[in-house]
Amino acid sequence: MKINRNLNLVMEVDNGDSKIFVHSMPISRQVFDTYYLPISKAFSAIYSQGLHTAAGPRVAKNLLRDAAKDVGIWEGPEGVENGLFNEIRRLTNVLVPISGKGWETMVLDQAIKNGLIDEDQLSEIENSVTFFIVASAMHMAKEREAILTGAGNIWGWQISSLNCTEFAKSLPILTEEESSGETVQASSIPH
């Protein structure tokens, strides 16, 4: 019996006041068929340059951009910049904690506009998601989960079969902790 598992990327991001989650899904076969050449060239660069899972998730977006420019399909309405990267952003959601209510889901662009993600965090998110997209599209099904899980162990993200809504439902509902304003003195008993 074969179990069909959709593998999605989940990243936890510390935005200072709280933790948010980024959830991204792989691109469709149709999108891959449109952009297969720059995706495969970026995949090749990740491995031929010795980047693999250790460094690939830090520079994958740059490699995909360079590959698209090399084959002349970076710019324009159907280019990688406006076509593939817009699709990747559409498939990427951010889960934001709402005290006492659970988690609000918004697209990545909205989280950026709301100031929930800074420039450095965005770079990490986009590069990790791009690595996930490239690896998901290019690795054979039998090795995909092991590769993505291994990269996740290095980079602090996880692979989940849950879609964004299911993942949000799996998270705890956060409540505001009431504070008396008093500070607690540290224990003198060694731990």
The pLDDT of residue 16: 80
Nearest to 161 by CA among 18, 62, 13, 23: 23
pLDDT digits (tens, 9 = 90+) for 107-157: 999 999 999 999 999 999 999 999 999 999 999 999 999 999 999 999 999
The Cα–Cα gap between 87 and 150 comes to 25
pLDDT digits (tens, 9 = 90+) for 15-69: 887 899 999 999 999 999 999 999 999 999 999 999 999 899 999 999 999 999 9
The Cα–Cα gap between 85 and 79 comes to 9
Give the predicted TM-score (pTM) of the model.
0.86
Dihedral in degrees, nearest 10, Cα atoms 105, 109, 115, 119: 130
Percent of the chain at pLDDT > 90 equals 79
Give 187's pLDDT tier (boundaries 50, 70, 90): very low
Give 172's pLDDT tier (boundaries 50, 70, 90): confident
The pLDDT of residue 182: 42
Phi, psi of 134 (to 5 degrees): -65, -50
* Domain residue spans of the chain: 8-170
* Contact predicate 24/129, CB 8 Å: yes
The residues near 29 (Cβ < 8 Å, ≥ 6 apart) are none
